[in-house]
Structure 1
Amino acid sequence: MSKLVAQLKRHEGVKKFCYLCPAGFETIGVGRNISQNNGLGLSDDEIDYLLENDIKRCKQELIALPWFVDLDPVRQDAIVNLCFNLGMTRLLGFKNALAAMEARDYSKAADEFYDSRWAKQVGSRADEVCEMIRTGRYGEGYA
């Protein structure tokens, strides 16, 4: 680590969560102003980096479900999408849907996910994810 990096970390502090700096700006990390007004926000590369890390984290958590690794790639993506959106703890609350996934009863699993408060909250996202679970295919518009 360079001397400048060490100095900036010492001066600014290292914050893993958003906070208001003394000047009243939303800040994160090492003094990164992310406010809409006068802030840097995040670059597209930074957003992609964070997203890829979050996807990796979800996949690592999902390895705990022994049947997950045996799913085809599209159904794995659907479960990763659910984990990303809900978090692992809330995803594990879908006991009937996950049992159906493990039994490879994908229609039942899709129905269980679709018949939930989550599906009502996320609208078309639920349509898309449940269809991926049901068919093992992405909808139109995906390569």
Structure 2
Amino acid sequence: MKRLGTIFFCTLLLTQVVANAEDLNKAKLKTQLIQHEGKRLKVYKDSEGIPTIGVGFNLKKKDAKSKIEALGLPYKDVLEGRVSLTDAQADTLLKGDIETAISDCESVVEGYSELSDIRKRVVVDMTFNLGKTRFSEFKKMLAALKAKDFNKAAVEMKDSKWCKQVKTRCSTLEQMMQANKDPSWLKDAD
């Protein structure tokens, strides 16, 4: 009988942990990333001179050629601006990059699953923009997240070279991290 009580208690505890962890709202994340990255169907150079297309899709990353060709497009023609994406193709690339960023966050951010939806979107947005390696360098911010000190995490975001580069994006994400609230332009996105 005691064992049944222990099993019941453990099940109840696990249910509570799962209930406290919010699912990631991917519709809001998509809107958020398009707001921060922009969406262009023809190749352009990003702020660092890297050929980019869609919603921040880096055409020079390792798997870019195979992902473009999987859309039925000739990579070289897309890279040289002779072929543009459709909205659906840009969305396909975005969906793949979002899944990569989420997976990266799950491996880098200790306690990621326990974060609120809004704070998950903040770290996924940062990882999407920076990549896993550069995001992993935010050691003090990651330690603050682990300690659930979201004010400190916001301060560490703001105190970075990245913040100076992305200005408005950083300010928005820092406020989202600190207040656990969406900006007004994102409230109705679902």
TM range, smaller chain:
0.7 to 0.9
The aligned residue for residue 9 of structure 1 is: none
Q: Distance in 2 between matches of 1:60 and 1:17?
A: 18
Q: Return 5+ residue gaps in structure 1 as ranges.
A: 1-14, 19-27
The one of 108, 112, 121 equivalent to 1:68 is 112
Write the mapping of 1:120-135 to structure 2, written as runs, cut at 5 A.
120-135=164-179
Write the mapping of 1:1-143 to structure 2, written as runs, cut at 5 A.
16-17=63-64, 29=69, 31-32=74-75, 33-34=77-78, 35-36=80-81, 39-64=82-107, 65-142=109-186, 143=188
Identity of aligned residues (%): 31
SS of the counterpart of 2:184?
A: coil
User: What amino acid sits opposite 1:59 in the alignment?
Assistant: I
SS of the counterpart of 2:148?
A: coil
Q: CA deviation at 1:31?
A: 2.2
Q: CA deviation at 1:103?
A: 0.8
Q: CA deviation at 1:40?
A: 2.4
RMSD of aligned alpha carbons: 1.7
SS of the counterpart of 2:183?
A: coil
Q: Distance in 2 between matches of 1:130 and 1:120?
A: 13
The aligned residue for residue 15 of structure 2 is: none
Runs of 4+ residues over 4 Å off in structure 1: 15-18
Q: Return 5+ residue gaps in structure 2 as ranges.
A: 1-61
Q: CA deviation at 1:17?
A: 4.2
Q: Distance in 2 between matches of 1:16 and 1:85?
A: 17
